[in-house]
Amino acid sequence: MANAKQLCLKYFTLHEKETSTWKCSCSKLLVSKRNSGWTNLLRHINKEHGEQINSLEGQSTLSFSKNETKISKTGNNYFSWINWICTDLRPFHFVEEELTREYSKLEPICTKTLKKYMDRVTKRVEQKISSLLPEKFSIVLDGWTKKSTHFVAVFAVYPVDTELGYESVLLGFSPLLCETNFGAKNHHELLEWTLELYGKNIENNVVALIGDNAEVNKALANLCEKPLIGCASHKFNLAVSHYLKNYEDLLGKINDIMVKLKSLKYRGKLRTKTDKGPMLRNDTRWSSTFQMVERYSELHPFLMDSEFSADRHFIPYMLSPSDFSDALDLLNRLKELNSYTVTLQEPSIDLSDVRCLFDKILAKYPEMATHLAADASIIHCPLFESALMKIQDFCEDSLSEAESNAVLAFKKPESQIENQGSPVDSMAHEIIKRRKIEKKSSHPESKYFKTKFLLPSSNLVERFFSIAGFAFNDYRQRLDPTNLEMQMFLKLNKKLWDAETVSQCCVANNAN
């Protein structure tokens, strides 16, 4: 764009042609990056010479103030297409489909243009994340396999002054750099490469890793020399799955009934009585077992009808009165345990809340201690987690020397500590609700920085994978992983880009 070039030449002179280095009137040396036009120079002018820019005449078509950037018609049109494709997870060729163009009021664009500007917006968002990320943050990561491709999602979570106490951004979602080895070393290389895109590194910026309690994650944490906060939901899933082994015979019988009811003959009979169909359990998630038992209790009255109870082929599958009584008793227990599963997924829950819930569970189900106890062998860094729990519970005065050393990086300088006075001496959701009320009571100023960004679970990645499943469905298996990552990156980080961002990409493109 002519105005951009003229403005840059007003402040800059070419210092070295071979490296595209320019010298500002304030003596600052900047490199005009390839394929970025005048963007780098304009950013410097906007930051260092903002008052002078605002006073320039004849620049009404080019504003540099964040809130005054002109949104062009083309930029708004491209934004609408990108937003539509990313928000609804549409295939890229959707913009070229005949009906889309017939019924949409947007100016038509081609797939090539769509990808081009999605890529430009992605780079802008990466730059914004680089400026947003503080010096210290935690990393939440997990793997996801779809068909023959294994992806790894990496989120950064950092503290902010909001009620929730933290913010998260998606940093990357891609296959491992080497797709023939899925060990900790390859995960480490991917993590290093991802952080490098944002000008960060593991050693100086990452304070902890958060993920499943898998051996590969523990090995990765050891390679990074960082503590691993094991996912509380994963621990609980393992604990309940272990507990349910005591009921395997009963659950096997109920599952056999559900398999039988899925046949055409019995599914047809069942459909004449209820819209509810049979449900099978899944070995991965214990909640599917709860759903299966709950569904059986709903179908049981219909199964007592003569069409089923008098059918000689179905009779062998029927539960005895004793088994049915045990099934109802188990269902009541599973309902209670399911309430804990739901509560563990709440965004506001922290490590101290998790410890409180686990202690309540252990009081009733001591056999789950193998996975839920504070000193369980599954925990990667017990001292680190126990120290964080005490800090979040305002019991930091009870920290042992070893615990204090484990969280030394979070301690405030003495000059930042203020004394605000002395502290004032169901179901899962009610337990946490009462704790939140107690925490709001007056307490002394903590000697440690806020630790809410050290999440107790990797549930945000699990939710992300559920969304990714819609984007990478059976009809889009030829979708390039790079394009999938770009679409998911823009969807998850939607709060970091808008029509103004896309308009800036158009300006940069015209300036080249």
Q: What is the pLDDT along the chain (512 residues), one digit of tens a residue?
A: 446 677 777 777 877 776 777 878 777 777 776 555 677 777 777 766 654 444 443 443 333 444 445 678 898 999 999 999 999 999 999 999 999 999 999 999 999 999 999 999 999 999 999 999 999 999 999 998 887 788 999 999 999 888 888 999 999 999 887 777 788 899 999 999 999 999 999 999 999 999 998 899 999 999 999 999 999 999 999 999 999 999 999 999 999 999 999 999 989 999 989 999 999 988 778 889 999 999 999 999 999 988 888 888 999 999 999 999 999 999 999 999 999 999 998 988 999 999 999 999 999 999 999 999 998 989 999 888 888 888 888 887 788 888 888 888 787 776 555 544 433 335 576 666 666 556 555 455 667 677 888 899 999 999 999 998 888 877 777 778 889 999 999 999 999 999 999 998 887 776 65
Determine the 3-state secondary structure of 159 from DSSP. Answer: strand
What size, in residues, is the chain?
A: 512
* The pair of three-digit structure tokens given for residue 503, joined into one six-digit string: 């308009």
* The pair of three-digit structure tokens given for residue 288, joined into one six-digit string: 């599917």
What's CA 251's distance to the chain center, in Å?
33
Q: Which residue has the tokens 């994963």?
A: 234
d(CA 190, CA 208): 16
**pLDDT at position 59:** 42
Taking Cα atoms as reference points, which of 509, 507, 504 lies closest to residue 35? 509
Helix-strand-coil split of the chain, %, nearest 5: 55, 10, 35
**pLDDT at position 58:** 40
Residue 30 φ then ψ, to 5°: -130, 150
**pLDDT at position 325:** 94
**Bridge partners of residue 175, in order along the sequence:** 151
Contact by Cβ (8 Å): 157, 455: yes
d(CA 502, CA 78): 7
**pLDDT at position 188:** 93
Q: H helices of 49-165, where?
A: 50-55, 73-87, 98-103, 111-132
d(CA 346, CA 436): 13
Exposed e or buried b per residue across 420-439, where buried means at least 16 C-beta atoms within 10 angstroms of its C-beta? eeeeeeeebeebbeebeeee
pLDDT tens-digit map of 269-293: 999 899 999 999 887 788 899 999 9
d(CA 64, CA 4): 10
Exposed e or buried b per residue across 213-252, where buried means at least 16 C-beta atoms within 10 angstroms of its C-beta? beebbbbbbebbebbbbbbbbbbbbbbbeebbeebeebbe
